[in-house]
Structure formats: C-alpha cells, structure tokens
Amino acid sequence: MGLSTVAIGLLPTYASIGVLAPALLAACRFGQGIGLGGEWGGAVLLAVENAPAAKRSWYGMFPQLGSPLGFICATVVFMLLGKYTSEEELFAWGWRVPFLSSALLVLVGLWVRLKISETPEFERAIANEERVAVPLVAVLRDHLGQLVLATAGTITTFVIFYLMTVFTLSWGTAELGFARQEFLLLQIVGVLFFAATIPLSAAIADRVGRMPMLIAATLAIGAFGLVFGPLFGARDALRVAACLSLGLACMGLTYGPLGVAIAELFPTAVRYTGASLAFNAAGILGGSLAPYIATSLARQYGIAAVGYYLCVAAAITLAALVAIHSRERARATAATPLPDTP
C-alpha cells in the first residue's frame, strides 16, 4: 500500500509519456488494492481474535473506523489544497503532495506491523498443527460455499459506499451544479454519520447477533434506495445533505459488524485468506463498476434508477445473509443437546 501510494505521487504525466502514464496509475491502484485486501483481513482478525467473546463486534469495528476517518482526512487535505493553490498549481504539482506525504503514515504503519504478535487463536492452531500449506487452495476446495455467501453478503456495502462517495460527487458537481468545495463539505457531514453508526451497529450486534444486525442494515439500505431519487434529484443542499447522511449512516450500520461476521464464517487456519478473499471479491463485484453503472442508469432512466440499482444489490445481499443466518441456526440447533427424557 505504501509503495503504491508514494509511487502515484512520483508518476510522470500523460504529457511526458503518453498512455503509459494512466497504465502506471492503474498498476499503482492495483497495488493499493492488494495492500488493502491483505492488511484489512489481518487488522480485523487481530482485533477480533484478541477480543472477549461478548465484545467481538465492538473490537472488530475499530479497523472499520479507518474508512470514515481516512475519508475525512483525505477530503480536508484536498479542500486545503484547493484553497491554497490555484487550479493550475493543483494540476501541476499540488495533487502530488498528499501521495508523497503518505510516506509518514507508511513508516508508522510499518513500525506497528513489526511490533504485533500472533493472536492466541492462531497460536493454538499452530500448536494443534492445523495450519494448511496453501490456504487459498483450501478455501476454494473446502469452503467455497462460505466464500460465495460471504462475498454476496458484502456486495451492497461496496455498492452504497461508492455510490455515496464517487458517484454523488461526480453527479453533484457535473449535473446538479454544486461547486466541488461545497459538495465536499456536504460529504464530510455525511461521513460523520458513517463514523457514528459504525460503533453503534457493533454494539447492537454484540447484543442481538451479527447476522440479525446485518440483515436489518441491509433492509435499511433497500429502503434508502427507494428514496434516493427524490432526495438526490435536484440542486437542494438540504436534501442532498440528508441523502448523503442517510446513505452513509446505512453504510456504517452494515460496516460495523461486517468484519467479524465474515471472519467467523471460516475456521482459524484459513480465516485470514477466506475473509480477505470475500472482502476483495465483493469490492471488485460491488464497488469497481458501481459509479459507472450508476452514471449510465441516471443518464438513461433518471436518478431514481440509481436507487433501484441499490435495491437490487440489497436484495442479493439480503438473500445471502438470510442463508448464512439459517445455516448458523441449523448448526446451533444440531449442537444443542436434547433434554433427558424421563
């Protein structure tokens, strides 16, 4: 992640090397994705596998808070650059500053990473000789069903995130007429709701269960999809702020317990690989094309169609979560001993 991010700040421009410039940028973004996918799973597992049994969702939500906090920091930096540099300066060199300065975070992250020890659960797996030689093969061979369900159960999280960040910013500035700085302020308000609902949903999940909380959050996302069009259909700052706040609040409701819910689907020996594969596959299927699909739908059928697209994604995720919950209840019932008969 660190090397890819710093490398973006050093890339030559299109004017210098032509189409090789965007190709190198895509390669760096690919490297960032690999870094995120690998370290996200490790961060969640370190939190969850060191947590008391009754507070796994609460511990597991702390890595998830990195998303809204990082979004706020990035937006503030971008706004400051926009304020203190001209448009010419921003495009000439200003855009490089955040990428190059991220080297400081890389050093801090590397220091933390080198100080971390294995979790008690993984150490027990090593002691019991439960480790597998190639976890990827083991997941695809022995846990393909869990992988498919976990991926489908995570897709809507990525769809709503990229709709509420990338698509709304593009559509709001290009089609609704908001100034970029003005819309970024509205997004920051929405991200505050995102940050607030992550710990809220984690606390609720520890009380009622991970799957019931995720099912309720997915139903909320589906309901939000129905009102997306009316809220985001015109240049009305109050309605747009309400749209961003509601959408990102729904994102937080699903994101809080998501990490531990995915991790618990896989045994310890392949948990890191299984959770990371599901998370990344959902990101590719749910997030990579979401802004482009949404833009195409909005231009052809109107902004309400974007909300219906979100509803379809929520229906897919809801079906997967219900299937996972049904499996969990069936296993719990099978594991419960029958009472003695007289």
Q: Is the pLDDT of residue 222 over 70?
A: yes
pLDDT of the residue at 297: 96
pLDDT band at 224 (very low <50, low <70, confident <90, very high): very high
What is the per-residue pLDDT for 88? 84
Residue 196 has pLDDT above 80, yes or no: yes
Amino acid in the structure at residue 143: H
Looking at residues 35-40, what average pLDDT do you find?
77
Which pLDDT score is estimated for 122? 67
pLDDT score at 121: 67
What's the confidence (pLDDT) of residue 87?
Answer: 79
Assess whether pLDDT exceeds 60 at residue 14. Answer: yes
pLDDT of residue 60: 87
Range in 33-47, 219-233, 316-330 with the lowest mean pLDDT: 33-47
Residues of the chain with pLDDT > 70, as a percent, come to 94
> What is the Cα–Cα distance from 70 to 172, expressed in whole angstroms?
22
Q: Average pLDDT in the 221-247 region?
A: 94
Q: In the structure encoding, which two tokens stand for residue 207, read together?
A: 């009380």
Q: Is the per-residue pLDDT at 342 higher than 50?
A: no
Sign of the CA dihedral with 296 first, then 302, 306, and 309 last: negative
Q: Which two tokens stand for residue 220?
A: 């909320």
Q: Are 238 and 230 in contact (CB under 8 A)?
A: no
- The mean predicted confidence, pLDDT, of the chain is 88
Q: Which CATH number fits domain 130-332: 1.20.1250.20, 3.30.360.10, 3.40.50.2300, 3.30.565.10?
A: 1.20.1250.20
Q: Give the range among 106-115, 188-197, 236-245, 300-309 with minimum mean pLDDT.
A: 106-115
Q: Quick one: pLDDT at residue 152?
A: 94
Check residues 271 and 321 and name the one with the higher pLDDT.
Answer: 321
Q: What is the pTM of this model?
A: 0.84
Q: Reply yes or no on whether the pLDDT at 336 is more than 80.
A: no
> Which pLDDT band holds residue 51 (cuts at 50, 70, 90)?
confident
Summarised one tens digit per residue, pLDDT across range 125-181 is: 666 666 677 888 888 888 899 999 999 999 999 999 999 999 999 999 999 999 888
Q: How many angstroms separate the CA atoms of 169 and 181, rounded?
A: 10
Q: Among 280, 275, 164, 153, which Cα is nearest to 210's?
A: 153
The mean per-residue pLDDT over the stretch 190-202 comes to 94
